[in-house]
A and B are shown apart, each in its own frame.
Chain A
């Protein structure tokens, strides 16, 4: 990746004229996009800009943490170029630190855990989705990402900014219920299969598991009736 700038904002400054039609006020949302694939970074960047977001795109979880100031232990929501991050959208499968591990690190940080994190994955795996939501992910998008997916996310961000609500665990629990919640992931309506480990192998298809719409029993995720240990996220 040496020939490509890590931070796409440098490239973006060349296109400022073309972006005049997008608002540049303080109310504009700033999204940090994390994906090791340059193709995907390019697409997600475009999708986000079309929904009037400022975008910073990085190619790994480590760089994301650096940008957020976590690596340097100067815990701050402000990226080192001075922009507050309003949302993080990350790929699940990345070499080094996975999107899941990045999610955990963010949710473990007292200063960063309020930032909504959205996970993207090309694998539609119920257990993986559950695990991410349990860890505090705001949403889970199955790739390829479309404009409608990103527009839906924009609604989360605008809503939270206006009301200043702390994200509660309620959304998490509702998303995990078997009955359909309109806000929960239209993206996971296609048939899913189970996976058995936190790394990124291909999903092993098992006919009985794929028919389940409730949390699959092959994963050590807690059943719905057990109260979540952390309700303050």
Chain B
């Protein structure tokens, strides 16, 4: 019975991953991160992703604050934030978020405020989607691990 449930959870996880790859939400760099996880670092992926969430939310907040600034929009600073977000997104395999950053950055280089605002909306939406899907993934993983008899320590959060 336990085995059956574990199989079903694994299937759920694989299905979700396949969907995210198919949608281009994640790319092969995410797989690379998974390969770096093992008994000596059993929560590596979720640790890195949680750091990514914290960094990204800070950057998104800064971007929104810069765009609200009507009089003197600091496009250079915006570019810096975007470069950071692009870099970390690429490092965890957050492909769609990274691509939106690229388009966003093009708008900021042209000092196109309206374009930037639109890009920020898309970016926030993509980020939210990514975050909710990754949380779902980690939840399934945690259930699977617990069901397997707690071979790994509890996932810290």
**Is B80 a contact of A95 with CB atoms below 8 Å?**
yes
**Is A40 a contact of B83 with CB atoms below 8 Å?**
no
Is A109 among interface residues, defined by CB-CB distance under 8 A? Answer: no
Total number of residue pairs linking A and B with CB closer than 8 Å? 68
**Is A147 a contact of B87 with CB atoms below 8 Å?**
no
Q: In which size bucket is the chain A interface?
A: 20 to 34
Task: Kindly identify, within residues 13 to 52 of chain A, every residue whose CB is under 8 Å from any CB belonging to chain B.
Answer: 15, 18-19, 21, 36-40, 42-43, 46-47, 50
Which of B32, B44, B51, B79 sits near A38, CB closer than 8 Å? B51
**Is B32 a contact of A37 with CB atoms below 8 Å?**
no
**Is B36 a contact of A147 with CB atoms below 8 Å?**
yes
CB-defined contacts of A18 to chain B, threshold 8 Å: 39-41
Nearest residue in B to A21 (C-beta to C-beta)? B40
Task: Kindly identify, within residues 60 to 116 of chain B, every residue whose CB is under 8 Å from any CB belonging to chain A.
Answer: 79-80, 83-84, 86-88, 90-93, 105-106, 109
Task: Kindly identify, within residues 12 to 71 of chain B, every residue whose CB is under 8 Å from any CB belonging to chain A.
Answer: 29, 32-33, 35-36, 39-41, 44, 47-48, 51-52, 55
Is A152 among interface residues, defined by CB-CB distance under 8 A? Answer: no
Contacts A40-B87, A122-B90 hold; do A144 and B32 have CB atoms under 8 A apart?
A: yes
* A-B pairs, 10 with minimum CB distance: A18-B40, A39-B88, A144-B29, A144-B91, A122-B87, A144-B90, A39-B52, A46-B36, A40-B91, A42-B48
Q: Name A's B-contacting residues (CB within 8 A).
A: 15, 18-19, 21, 36-40, 42-43, 46-47, 50, 93, 95, 122, 143-147, 200-202
